[in-house]
DNA sequence: CTATATTGGTGCAATATCGCACTAAAGGAG
DNA sequence: CTCCTTTAGTGCGATATTGCACCAATATAG
């Protein structure tokens, strides 16, 4: 019975990460309008930060989700008129996703709505600890990402 | 445009955590039999570690998911005969979830199947870094958990 | 150039997630 | 005890996720 009493370190890390992901996603979604969830925000945020005109497949790869999932998420944003699809002039197979003004505005509003919570966390929590773990998380993410297809 | 070029630290941490969660979940699910996904493993693992006979609601709270989601997950495990439901002798409203031998065996097999990958990660990655971030992740998880209903 | 392989996107079906409403049991106020 | 509230669980419907199959466009082999 020893093995199950002492879960390996890696296991524990992934476990905590899973719980944090769930809790933080819930917080995010509490600030989103009805009908939109975390993946929608992810796409809006991605388009603002990386730039408009990305293709659905490029975003599916960026988020590591199947292309059908990205099609579905983007179509939800189109329905809410937060992005619009345009043909890709460089490749007849693909499309480009462009933000609308409403899309930009919604993303900005969600972020500003959440800022009090971030600030409270920054007050209550030792931020330097987060600064220390961020590079490790990034390294771990890169490792997992690169080992993804080798498995 | 400055605010969106420099996402706050907390934002970045949650972002990395979200990606790691997704990648690690994919790894886990690659080791699970067809028809079972990460939440099923979560419940099996929980029952082994915390002990048999927990109620669906207790687990819903532990995993921070709606009770309907837990009902669904547990019913999938029942269908695969990995757990069984019994009436709760102490409360006529609720039930208890007990592992079957097959449930215990499957959980053990999944863990042992994944151990080579954990070991490879332990070789390729500086484990002491994970040791350093684990307590911070735990602290962050506890903070979010406690602030969950205050928001 | 032609034939084949690959790639981007979508429709469809199976399953998952989750809010809402409802029932049954338990708890609490009087 | 009775009434009211709370709690555990489930049915149902809306939406999400994802594998599979397919089409159209592009890339590649010969």
Q: Write the pLDDT tens digit of every residue in A117-130.
A: 888 898 888 899 99
> Is the CB of residue A93 inside 7 Å of nucleic acid strand C?
yes
What is the mean predicted confidence (pLDDT) over A42-60?
A: 95
Q: What's the CA gap between B28 and A130, in Å, rounded?
A: 26
Cα gap A65→A72, rounded to integer Å: 11
Largest Cα span, chain B: 61
Give the domains, in start order, of chain A with CATH numbers: 2-145 (1.10.10.10)
Residue owning tokens 């890390």? A13
Tell me how far apart the alpha carbons of residues B143 and B13 are, in angstroms, rounded to a whole number: 15
What pLDDT was estimated at residue A149?
Answer: 56
pLDDT at residue A146 above 90?
no
Mind listing the pLDDT tens digit for each residue in A3-24?
444 568 888 999 999 999 999 9
Average pLDDT over residues A47-67: 94
Quick count: other Cβ atoms within 10 Å of Cβ A137? 24
Percentage of chain A lying above the pLDDT 70 cut = 93
Phi, psi for A86 (deg, rounded to 5): -130, 155
Q: Which of B9, B22, B131 lies at the smallest CB-CB distance from A9? A: B131
A83 touches strand C (CB under 7 A): no
φ and ψ of B57, to 5 deg: -65, -40
**How many Cβ atoms from other residues are within 10 Å of residue A51's Cβ?**
9
Name the residues in B9-68 having a C-beta closer than 7 Å to nucleic acid strand C.
Answer: 35-37, 39, 65-66, 68
CA separation for the pair B56, B66 (Å, rounded) = 10
Say whether residue B138 is in contact with chain A using an 8 A CB cutoff: yes
Nearest residue in B to A46, CA atom: B4
The structure tokens listed for B131 are 């040791």
- Per-residue pLDDT band for A139 (boundaries 50, 70, 90) equals very high
List of E strands, B71-130: 83-87, 95-99
Q: ∠ CA(A121), CA(B142), CA(A32), 5° rounding?
A: 55
The string of DSSP codes covering B31-84 is TS-TT--HHHHHHHHHHHHH-S-B-HHHHHHHHT--HHHHHHHHHHHHHTTSEE
- Gap between the Cα atoms of B57 and B71, Å rounded: 9
- Nucleotide closest to A37 measured between CA and C1': D16
How far apart, in whole angstroms, are the C-alpha atoms of residue A148 and residue B26?
Answer: 9
Rounded mean pLDDT of A84-113? Answer: 95
Would you state the pLDDT for residue A7?
A: 64
Collapsing DSSP states into helix, strand and coil, what is residue A92?
Answer: coil
> What's the rounded Cα separation, in Å, for the pair B12 and B5?
12
Whole-number percent of chain A with pLDDT over 90: 77
- Residue B3 confidence (pLDDT): 42
* pLDDT tens, residue order, chain B (151 aa): 444 445 688 889 999 999 999 999 999 999 999 999 999 999 999 999 999 999 999 999 999 999 999 999 999 999 999 999 999 999 999 999 999 999 999 999 999 999 998 888 888 888 999 999 999 999 999 998 888 655 4
**pLDDT at res. A56:** 97
């Amino acid at each position: 019975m020893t093995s199950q009493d002492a879960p390996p370190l890696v296991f524990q890390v992934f476990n905590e990460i899973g719980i944090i992901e769930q809790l933080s996603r819930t917080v995010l979604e509490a600030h989103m309008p009805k009908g939109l969830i975390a993946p929608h925000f992810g796409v809006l945020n991605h388009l603002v930060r990386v730039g408009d005109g990305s293709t659905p497949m490029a975003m599916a790869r960026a988020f590591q989700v199947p292309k059908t999932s990205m099609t579905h998420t983007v179509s939800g944003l189109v329905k809410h008129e937060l992005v619009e699809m345009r043909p890709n002039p460089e490749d007849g197979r693909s499309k480009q996703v462009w933000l609308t003004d409403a899309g930009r505005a919604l993303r900005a509003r969600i972020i500003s709505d959440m800022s009090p919570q971030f600030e409270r966390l920054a007050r209550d929590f030792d931020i330097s600890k987060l600064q220390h773990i961020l590079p490790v998380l990034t390294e771990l993410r890169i490792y997992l990402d690169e080992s993804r297809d080798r498995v």
